[in-house]
Every structure is written in structure tokens, then in C-alpha cells.
Structure 1
């Protein structure tokens, strides 16, 4: 079966939709915002999805759409009744869980579990499972998929990870019983990109989609963004050069190192591992306005190594690739020449990037073979050359940056 596919990326700020052809080339995109005051309202989510699809339909025909997949914000959860009706507002990814429930996980969960932490969805479930009328706790992408299919009982392996799902054994683990957690109130788990069902006829007609459209298991926003780049080779990395530096690498083995914030999402028989540093674009923005940054970058010879040894942090503390909450910023000495100073900052961040990929290799990951870049820093050609020299690998172009395109790739997988 072949045809075009739709991906929907749902976040706290809005919904984005992408239409791709069988080769994952983007045909059209659409978007709709969610008001900050309504980002916990699932009705606002669905309204934004409908408006994003309407915007998409205004730019391209959806008559050939055969499949659709959704990615959502990792860790955002929603309690629902048996009919899928929300029993209250959603708990966002950064909303704190009850401290006692968080503490109860420490001695029972493996140290490598992604369900630890102050905002743990599993800790939230320990509270929500006693909510009157609760049938299931769903993740954001799960509930939207349920609005399409009418079935509110499924999730994907990536969204389930922070709720305690074991991606290695591919099941909800036995330790849930030790927490007095009822797994029957958690959704069944499916690999990303597998068919969950067919769109409801009335929903298809309302949204202008074909009644044959397959709804596929989705993923998290971070995984979807990686998939959008087109990285498919074991050892390929994707570096996000935004406010902070985030690395993800495709691996043939799972990596778990909670001391560095590293855990692995499952993508079929492959794994997506990575970590996030505190260095990044925020450091550059603290010293230079965008126009000045562009002008100074053009004055740098990226083939020449800087003599400065910087670890460019805004404030003390690092999480990956060095786990040290007291690690001091190193941005001195500062030369009189601003271009030389910027050269040192750019190269310093590149060295942290290289150290990050080396850390993944030390933990059992594959050798780095190439890197694709996303985020604002990816547009800096001088920095790209510096990074290629420091990393010692080729820099491949990202096919796309929008997470909705990654979700659409999963929808295409459901057609194969």
C-alpha cells in the first residue's frame, strides 16, 4: 500500500501538521496555536489539531492520505474514563508529581528507569489511579489518536518509557505490583509506526480526510524530531544547537546512564540514545547580538584551531557529558579580539559535543559515523566547519526539522 501520509506534532504551544509523499518529501504543512492558558485543556489540543489539518488542507489535497501518526510532548498525561472523556486537566511534562509518590519509586524502580524524577508520569499515575471513574491514564499523543479511532486504550513504546515501561523486555514491568499500581489502568503498548485502527467515518468527514486513513502508533516530540532529519544509519547522530546542546544517536544497543540523564527510546530493533548539555546557544546570546554573531563568524577561519580552552557555561553546573552540578564555567582568558573570543566559544561547544558522542561510545554505543544538525546554530556555516573538524565526521544535511515530518514518517511505516 502506498500513498501520502500525515504527521501531527502536538505541543504545549500548538499543533503542527505535515503532509509527506511516499519518499517522505514534504508536500505541505499547517499549524495552529494553543493559548498558554489552555495548554492543559485536551479540548484545546483537539481544536488545534483540527485547525492545523484545515490549514494543511488549504495548501494541498488530502484525498490520497492513507495514514496518520501523532507525536506529543513526552511526559504529558491525562486521566480518562472508559469512553475517553477527560476526568480533569492534563498534567504537563514539567508539572511536579506528589513528592511522596516520587520517593516511593527510588527503592523499587531500577536505577536505569526513565520513570524516576520529580515530574515522573509514573508517580503521577500512583495518584491518578484512585480518581473516581478512571479507566486509563493516557499520554498526550494517545488521547489524540483515540479521538481519531474511538479507542482510548493504546500508547507507543516511546511515550510509555517515562511511565515505567521496559523497552528491553517490551512490557509493563512486574515492579508495578510492588507500587500497588494497577497496570490495567495503563494503555497497551505498541511499537511506533504500527497500525492502531482506522479513522472513525464521522471524524474523517469532519476533518476532510479519507475514510480509509490508518491511524498509526506515534512517538514523543523528541523522537519525532530525530526521525524528521532522515537519519537511519547506526552511528548517525543528530545535534540540536538551540538554547542548549542536545545529542541523539541511533544505536544497535540500548544505553542507560541516569547519572548523565541518558536513557534509550526503542525504534523497532534499534535505539535512540542521547543526552543534553548546559552549553549551547544561550551562552553565545549572552555575549553577542545575532547580527554581531553573524559578522564575527564570517571573520573566523574555521580550519584553524583556536588556542582557547573553553567550557562555555552560563553558570556553574553540568549534566552531560560531565555530570557535575558544581562544574565552573570556563570562558577566560578573553582576548581583545571579539572574533577570536567567538572562535573560542564555538570551538569550546564543539569540543563538548565531541565529548558527548564519545561518552555515548564509552557506554556501549556505536562509533559516530556522521552528524545532522538542527536548531538555530545549524545555520552558522563557520560553526558547521569547526564542528566537522572537531568531530572528525561528515556533516549531513537534515531532511527536515519539523517533528510533524518525523510523525509522518511513522505513518508511512504503517503502510509498509
Structure 2
């Protein structure tokens, strides 16, 4: 009689998240508790950028790079009794490629920052003004909708347009897959009405069937085919679930998935993203919303300031400057560290320019003022969100390179008057893994986030500095209003 110890063990279920970024494909494999068990990476060619705002990439490289990154990640799992039970793909928003009826690219992809269709997007804004107003969306110069029309004007019969995950979904499953309503948003999908903006498409002559059908992120789109399994190391029949845009996946990776939860991402620029129960529109156009996989909404906005505030500082000198600025305490002057023309969030002004009000006493004072200026923008952003009627509760999740600075994070917490929780893995690939786990390892996305994201590193406000920073914030807002960039209120 065999012992229990001799009985074969069930494989440990693992989910794989794929992030197709501009320069590389990354894969993260995680278990039901969010422990990352393996990773993979493969490079992509840099986009070719040229006159007229053109930005292109060879879409034929996407699948070989994705397959290579998956092979690397799945090979690291082999022999350990672990098996991938679901996979999801997330990518940069706004990248499209024209494809043949069988899903093969017929030319280069137009990248997220391609501006060749800016005039078409301006016309699309006019044609769908009522729809966009109800949705709280602005069709910007680089929106994918204009690229869609640009392709439609050049396509041959039977050809179609695919987002990056649509193409990779075909490669994984061996058949066409729906697109998700996150990647589809800036291509002209109306998640409020649950339909493509066919009124706008018809005005431009976009043919029916030129785009895939649309489903919620996390929806199972098919299973891994035998051919894809051989190329990637994924098991045959592994469910393939729809992903979201990189920004939305990064938010999910922090655990901010329930109404009232927000994350402040301090990278090159500052981005605020959160969850609301209902769609809230911003008359100024500073804030817009994606749709949550569970039907809620994901309001967010991106500033033109952020980590660029430190662009002139030698990275090797940052620890010394941080220490000096920490010892110094609140700055004696105000700094709005805007390094480009115009602001887009939390207020919209093409006239906005960076400024320094007052004279820094020394380099530590100047450095501290720059850190505080970004924190003041973050407070203004949260106040803008709350003024629109959106609930914000609990600690603010914090992510991005700037969140690695202990000093900067303490300043942000103090200016906001609320604790921050610095996320452990605010990565697109990890967010994609959470989407793969929803409905597979866990009942839904909220359960995935609760089980797979850590509480994060807590950072509390520095009470002895709050009064001084509150006063400086008041002066900062007054300066913006005096310059006519921020409405009185």
C-alpha cells in the first residue's frame, strides 16, 4: 500500500503577466499570494521617429520578443512543480498596426506618440463632441482614433486594425480575440455607452469590421494553442485573458482597485489614478476615466511636472542633497518645477511656466523647494478630484521612481496630511498577472489585489513640519491664481 507521501503532488498554479513596452517585453510569473517566482525579458527595436511627428515600430518583432520573454520565464519555473494557469497581455496605450485578415502586420505600427493624424483627431473631437463630453474625454493630437482613420484611408479590403494585445492574443490562441475596453478607449470606444463611436467612424468612412469586438479586461479570450505552447513554454489550453493599458495595469499592481483608493505615480511626470463608483467628468478636461474591469471607473490625470524637477541634478549627488534638504527643513521659497510649456493636470493652462518665488538660500533650499513644489501639485490634484465629487479615502498608494526617495515621500505625506503606502511592485507586468489571476486563482480583481499585493511601506506625515508646509501650499496656490493659470475658488 503506497503512503500519502508517495502520491503525486498537484502543480502549484501560477499566472503570467506580459508587458509590451516601447523598448522591451517583460514577463512576470506570480503565485496566488503575489510572490514573483520567475521573470523574463526580451528587447524590442527602438521606434523610428521622423518628420511630421511620425513614430513607428516593426510590429513583426512583437511576437518573437514576447515568445522569448515567456520562454525565459517558463523555463525558470520548470522542475519546480509550478504551472501557468492563465496569462494576460498589457501594452502601451494608443499603438496600432494594420494587419491582413489572418492577423499578420502589413506595415509598421504607428506608436502611441505618433502625431501624423493630429488634424484628423481635431476633426474627430468636433464630430463626436457630445459623446466625448458625456464621457469626459478629449481626443488629443496623438489619440489612436486618428491613426485608425489614417489606416482606413489606406487599407485594402479585408484588412483590419489591431492594438498590440490584439495581435499577441491571436498569436497565443491561434484565432482572433476581442480587444479590451481599456486599450480601445482612445481608439474611439465609448465605455459609457458600451459601443464604438460609429457615428464618428461613419463620418470618416471607417468600414464595419475594421476593429475587433470589445470585452471587459480579464475576460477569457481563448486558450494557448499547441503552436504557441511550443514557442513559449506555456501549457496547451492555458486560458488567455484580456489585459489593460500599461497605466491602468500599473495602478492595479499597487492594489488600488476599490472605490476611493488612489495612487500617485511620481516618475518623469506626476500621474494620479484611482477608482470611483460612478463616471465623473471634469469640465476643464484635466481628468478623464478608463472603465474598471468590474464596471466602476478609473479617473486619472497626468501633470507636466514630476521627476523632471530633478533633471538638472547629478543622480550621484541626490543622496547628499536629500540629506542636506532633510536637515534644513521646509524651504524658504516656492518652486513650481515645470520644465516644459503648459500644464494639463490638475489644471489646464497652455500659458503655465515654471517659476521660483523667492530666492533660495543655498542649494539645499533650492532642492527642497523643488521637492515641495511637486508635492504641492499632488495636493492640488487630490483637491481637484475631491472637488469633482470623487471619494478619496485611506493612505495614498505611492509608486514611481520618485517614491524611492524617503525624503520626498515624507514631504508628500506631510503636504497631503495623510499617510502614503509605497507599493512594492507597481509594474505593468505584475498588474497583468493580477488580471490573469482574476477569475482564475481568485474570484475577481478585488480578491486578486487583496491576496497578491503587499500592504507596502508606510510613510507618515512629519507633524512638526505641517504648519510651515500648509502655509507654503497656500502661497503656492495664490501664485498660480495670480498668474491666471488656476481659477479662483
Q: Normalising by structure 1, report the TM-score.
A: 0.93
Shift in Å, 1:292 = 2.4
The answer to whether 1:311 aligns with 2:336 is: yes
The answer to whether 1:11 aligns with 2:21 is: yes
Deviation string 1:363-402 (CA, Å, 9 cap, x unpaired) is 2321243222222211110111111111122211313122
Which residue of 253, 259, 267 maps to 1:242? 267
Structure index of larger Rg: 2
The equivalences for 1:10-159 within 5 A come to: 10-36=20-46, 40-61=57-78, 63-110=82-129, 111-112=132-133, 114=137, 116-130=139-153, 131-159=155-183
For 2:140 and 2:66, locate their aligned partners in 1 and report how far apart those are by CA, in whole Å.
30
Deviation string 1:97-119 (CA, Å, 9 cap, x unpaired) is 43553343132113446461222
For 1:341 and 1:322, locate their aligned partners in 2 and report how far apart those are by CA, in whole Å.
24
CA contact (8 A) 2:22 2:47 kept: no
CA contact (8 A) 2:30 2:36 kept: yes
The equivalences for 1:197-346 within 5 A come to: 197-257=222-282, 259-267=284-292, 268-286=294-312, 288-301=313-326, 305-346=330-371
CA contact (8 A) 2:138 2:285 kept: no
Partner of 2:478: none
Moved more, 200-209 or 158-167: 200-209
Moved more, 245-254 or 377-386: 245-254
CA contact (8 A) 1:260 1:275 kept: no
Deviation string 1:9-68 (CA, Å, 9 cap, x unpaired) is 002201000001112222221111112268622221111101111221243238511100
For 1:206 and 1:317, locate their aligned partners in 2 and report how far apart those are by CA, in whole Å.
47
For 1:399 and 1:99, locate their aligned partners in 2 and report how far apart those are by CA, in whole Å.
38
For 1:156 and 1:302, locate their aligned partners in 2 and report how far apart those are by CA, in whole Å.
49
For 1:120 and 1:148, locate their aligned partners in 2 and report how far apart those are by CA, in whole Å.
27
Tell me, which stretches of 5 or more residues in structure 2 are unaligned? 1-10, 49-55, 444-489
Question: Cα distance 1:77–1:261, how it changes in 2: closer, same or farther (>3 A)?
Answer: farther
Question: Cα distance 1:68–1:315, how it changes in 2: closer, same or farther (>3 A)?
Answer: closer
Q: Normalising by structure 2, report the TM-score.
A: 0.80
Higher relative contact order structure (alpha carbons within 8 Å, sequence separation ≥ 6)? 1
Deviation string 1:143-174 (CA, Å, 9 cap, x unpaired) is 11111112224100100000111111222234
For 1:257 and 1:185, locate their aligned partners in 2 and report how far apart those are by CA, in whole Å.
31
For 2:306 and 2:141, locate their aligned partners in 1 and report how far apart those are by CA, in whole Å.
25
Question: Cα distance 1:397–1:99, how it changes in 2: closer, same or farther (>3 A)?
Answer: closer
For 1:64, what is the secondary structure of its paired residue?
strand
Moved more, 80-89 or 110-119: 110-119
